[in-house]
Structure 1
């Protein structure tokens, strides 16, 4: 299996036509670029959003072209410190044009099945998936590109179901 880097995955935003959707299923992400700002926040500091600037710029460019960028974060309650920190930074994502919703695990439909062994994924235009892979310590290894129609269809259906169940950021209180 070949993996692409996060930067290569982000370049997919230049090519989709309508909608990008991200499903997040982890309660902690060990992303090296976030370690300093996260640790500072844990120690009582303000939210340092400087690490988010490239992402915010990408989302602003994308949504300015009329595309939608959506995300559902499936979380365990009570939320982990990392998810609490993500919650605190979410208004920056939304100001850039992302639409983010939260779904506590205990509210998941009982019969739900997550494809790809419950890995996170991006779905672009209901035709292309970028499935996230992580190492044992939770660090990002890269994304696997999947365009098999049956996998894509399963993720489209799951996205639609989860989107209707999830709570908009403004209404969610962890």
Structure 2
């Protein structure tokens, strides 16, 4: 089974990610450290210690547009505050990130799960347990044209309404 990195490295045009939960993997040691007041650790923006940053920079350098949209409840959860805190280096590495307050998403048709859409041709849905940890069957791949179209339309609808990271103020 290809990893997320494998799938991303195969992209030639675009990779988009839609996140719709207010908390993910609270067991993440970085989140625990953040909750205990650790802020602005140099590792947060170091591509050698945050491989995601290097991956995004590589993809963008190859002409792949990497976009992430997050639908969030307001006032935001502590986990969303943590994500917002870590997003600056993502943007600096070339990832475009926008935030959509959930109250503005009511009229949108959205898939039931977070997803990655690769080159508008395939989708990986992410499955999480109720506590935000990855479920045992954490990924579901499809290249079904109808599902791809649903996800592409949902992402673009969210993107059009969402606020760019640099303009989004936490509530």
Q: Decide whether the 8 Å contact of 1:9 with 1:143 is kept in 2.
A: no
Which protein is richer in helix relative to its size? 1
Q: Are 2:15 and 1:20 aligned?
A: yes
Does 2:38 match 1:45?
yes
1:153 is matched with which residue?
Answer: 149
Q: 2:126 maps to which residue?
A: 132
Please report how far the alpha carbon of residue 31 of structure 1 lies from its aligned counterpart in structure 2 after TM superposition. Answer: 6.1
Kindly tell me: are residues 11 and 154 of structure 1, through their superposed partners in 2, closer, same or farther at Cα, counting changes over 3 Å? same
Partners of 1:36 and 1:22 lie apart in 2 by 23
Aligned residues: 164
Q: How much is the aligned-residue C-alpha RMSD, in angstroms?
A: 1.8
1:110-142 Cα deviation digits (max 9, x unpaired): 332222xx2100001111001001123321233
**CA shift for structure 1 position 52:** 6.0
Q: Is the 8 A contact 2:20 2:71 kept in 1?
A: yes
Structure 2 CA distance for partners of 1:60 and 1:9, relative to 1, 3 Å: same
- Which residue, 109, 113, 136 being the options, matches 2:109? 113
What does residue 100 of structure 1 align with?
97
CA distance in 2, matches of 1:37, 1:9: 20
Q: Cα deviations across residues 18-43 of structure 1 (Å, max 9, x unaligned)?
A: 010000001101065xx222112112
Misfit runs of 4+, over 3 Å: none
Distance 2:126 2:162 in 1: 21
Q: Which residue of 1 aligns with 2:3?
A: 8
2:81 to 69, 79, 84: 84
In structure 1, what is the Cα distance between the partners aligned to 2:49 and 2:81? 16
Identify unmatched segments of 5+ residues in structure 2.
none
Matched-pair contact (CA < 8 Å) for 1:37–1:47? no
| 1:36 partnered with 2:29 | yes
C-alpha distance in 1 between matches for 2:108 and 2:169: 24
C-alpha deviation, 1:169, in angstroms? 0.6
Aligned counterpart, 1:172: 168
